[in-house]
Amino acid sequence: MSSVLKKLQKQHLSDLPNNQSVLVPQYDISNTSIGIVHLGPGAFHRAHQAVYTENVMNSIGGNWGICGVSLRSASARDTLAKQNNLYTLAVLDKTVSYQVIGALKEVLVASEEHDLVLARMSAESTKLITLTITEKGYCLAADGSLDVNHNDIKHDLSEPTAPVSAIGFIVEALKQRKLNNVPAFNVLSCDNVSGNGEKLQRAVLGYAGLLDKSLQAWINSNVAFPNSMVDSITPKTENYTVEAVSKAINLHDEWPIQREEFTQWVIDNNWQGERPEWEKVGVIFTNDVEGFEKAKLRLLNCLHSTLAYAGSLAGFETVFEATSDEHFYHFITQLASQEIIGSFIPPKELAVESYANDIIQRFLNPNIRHLLAQIAFDGSQKIQMRILPVIEDNLALNRSIKLLCLSLCSWFEFICQALNNNEKINDPMANAFSSMPELLSSNEETVVTAFLSIDAIFNNRLANNEKFKAQLIKSLTVLRNHNIKQIDQLAAML
């Protein structure tokens, strides 16, 4: 196909299909300057933050072009440069739509072009630094402070003008702006990490303080690090994605991005300074990002984990397959409405019932192949954030925990069956599980007692709560003695 189709480039945008199925930039790409430097221009950024920024410029214009900075890999730069940094977003739902994105003006590779990267970041026209570098890129120690023993941090402290870490680049660019009397930029983490802005701020201030206390104080006074929450499933671009997108737009796009239709971006409202008017294209600015994070953990993530373990036990492979089953659909709908909603106070900007319904409808997207096995990874960590806090809050409120306990027992049984079948367990506590012969028992009370004894998972309040333990034993007994494929009927037996 690539040999007969023209490349996706500026001069060929007029060759796009003459219909409304492919949206193209509505602003002058060539005369839009850079206002944002983004560290980590991977798939999620290009499908999420870059698209919101594109939509702002389509709507009201503005110089919010993005300079993407890859800290080490040159693949994004080398691929996208051949098509003027244009790429296509394929929005996958029951129908598929396409949008050519022009917001990404350039991609730089920090390991090869650190002087140019610092020049972009320190330029007065740059108003904002955004990041998707994953939590490990913050170089934090276990206690949340800067890890001074991290190899990248040790390098940057010895050569601060030639940094390799995101933290080093941010601080060096701010140092140059301070020296040149250029106003500071703000720094917005877009990583899927709770309290991401606060964590990034600790790393930046910790590093700056080791270099120059006056710089640290200036950053603390002049730079905002708002927390944010992001959400949208972005499947990996495969060869078939390239073929399908190129065929649809009638131009060859070497690196399109695909994403579900649902997308969410919530940002702290506690900062000043220039930024795109994202609120006009769906971004929520709030004083309660934590509340949105809690809603996501309890509704999206709790239901995901429930489907991962119960669905896998029932023989399903994907979220779509499990949710499409009437028994599972009924069960997760009940779980959301009866035991999750009401366990927390939602943010005032969130219509929680509609949000819950939207999530379940997302699970029914036939074009998103989200593997249950993948969601099931690291269950010992995930249940501590996704399920156990809901149970604790419901116990404190004297609310039902029956469905939540069935969900948790699905994880118990998922681990027990893997042990009995000598299957690999993708979990940081896999070795600990393997050393517990009680988990091979056919006695449900023995199994539940063994799990509750793991103090790395269960705190004393839960482990010693008799109501909780009794419900788990009953739930595991029902689960083992009846067909989990009819999970809603199992719930009625509890």
Residue 211, domain CATH: 3.40.50.720
Does residue 395 share a domain with residue 255? no
Which residue among 238, 272, 287 closes a domain? 287
Strands, E assignment, 85-138: 87-92, 96-101, 104-109, 128-131
Segment 352-369 mean pLDDT: 95
Whether residues 239 and 141 fall in one domain? yes
Least confident piece of the model among 18-32, 75-89, 228-242, 343-357:
18-32
Q: Do residues 422 and 350 share a domain?
A: yes
The C-alpha atoms of residue 463 and residue 485 are separated, in whole angstroms, by 29
Listed in sequence order, the residues at least 6 apart from 165 whose beta carbon sits closer than 8 Å to its beta carbon are 71, 137, 139, 150, 152, 153, 155, 156
Are the CB atoms for 99 and 60 separated by under 8 Å?
no
pLDDT of residue 354 exceeding 50, the answer is yes
Residue 265's DSSP bridge partners are 230
* 174 and 265 fall within a common domain: yes
pLDDT over 70 (residue 209): yes
Angle at 379 between CA 375 and CA 385, to 5 degrees: 95
Residues 399, 215: Cα–Cα separation, whole Å: 51
For tokens 């499933």, the residue is 233
CA 64 to centroid of chain Cα atoms:
23
Give the gyration radius of the chain's Cα atoms: 25
374 lies in the same domain as 278: no
CATH code of 421's domain: 1.10.1040.10
Give the orientation angle of helix 196-211 with respect to helix 166-179, to 10 degrees. Answer: 60
Specify whether 279 is located in the same domain as 371: no
Which residue's structure tokens are 């939602």? 346
Q: Which residues contact 395 (CB under 8 A, 6 or more apart)?
A: 401, 465, 467, 468
Same domain, 324 and 382: yes
Q: List the structure tokens of 149.
A: 């023993």
- Mean pLDDT along residues 435-461: 97
Residue with tokens 């913050």: 138
Closest to 257 measured CA to CA, from 92, 457, 371, 130: 92
Q: Is 335 a domain residue?
A: yes
Of the pLDDT bands very low, low, confident and very high (cuts 50, 70, 90), residue 15 is: confident
What does the pLDDT read at residue 139? 96
The residue out of 248, 268, 287 marking a domain boundary is 287
The answer to whether residues 282 and 377 belong to one domain is no
Same domain, 344 and 380: yes
Question: Which position has the higher pLDDT, 17 or 89?
Answer: 89
Average pLDDT over residues 316-331: 98
pLDDT over 70 for what percent of the chain? Answer: 99
Q: Is 421 helix (H, G, I), strand (E, B) or coil?
A: coil
End-to-end Cα separation, the chain, in angstroms:
57
Per-residue pLDDT of 246-284, as tens digits, reads 999 999 999 999 999 999 999 999 998 999 999 999 999
Q: What is the mean pLDDT of the chain?
A: 96
In-domain check, residue 2 = no
Q: Does the CA dihedral 340-341-345-346 come out positive or negative?
A: positive
Q: What is the mean pLDDT of residues 452-467?
A: 97
CB-based contacts of 160-163 (< 8 A; 24+ apart in sequence): 160/211, 161/118, 162/114, 163/114
- Report how far Cα 283 is from the mean position of its chain's Cα atoms: 16
Structure tokens at 5: 């189709």
- The string of DSSP codes covering 174-205 is HHHHHHTTPPPPEEEE-SS-TTHHHHHHHHHH
In the predicted model, is pLDDT for residue 85 greater than 90?
Answer: yes
14 CB contacts (<8 Å, ≥6 apart)? none
483: left (phi over 0), alpha (psi -120 to 50) or beta: beta
Segment 370-379 shows an average pLDDT of 95
Angle separating helix axes 196-211 and 151-158, nearest 10 degrees? 40
Position 168 scores a pLDDT of 98
- pLDDT score, position 476: 98
| Same domain, residue pair 77 and 190 | yes
Please indicate, yes or no, whether residues 308 and 264 belong to a single structural domain of this protein.
Answer: no
Three-class SS state of 89? strand
Name the least confident of 13-17, 91-95, 137-141, 217-221. Answer: 13-17
CA 119 to chain centre: 29
Longest alpha-carbon distance in the chain: 72
In sequence order, what are the residues at sequence separation of 6 or more whose Cβ sits closer than 8 angstroms to the Cβ of residue 78?
none
* Residue 294 belongs to domain spanning: 290-492
Is 215 among the domain residues?
Answer: yes
Q: Phi, psi at residue 186, to the nearest 5°?
A: -95, 160
Amino acid at residue number 104: L
CA 57, 60, 61 angle in degrees (round to 5)? Answer: 45
Cα distance between residue 408 and residue 343, in whole Å: 17
Structural domains of the chain, count: 2
Using 50, 70 and 90 to split pLDDT, how confident is the model at 225?
Answer: very high
**Once rounded to an integer, what is the mean pLDDT over residues 88-98?**
93
| CA distances in angstroms from 329 to 274, 314, 371, 485, listed in the order given | 44, 13, 17, 11
Distances in Å between the alpha carbon of 261 and those of 232, 237, 242, 322? 8, 16, 19, 20
- Residues written for the chain: 494
Separation of alpha carbons 251 and 1, rounded Å: 9
Confidence of residue 157 (pLDDT cuts 50, 70, 90): very high
Q: Tell which of 287, 304, 320 closes a domain.
A: 287
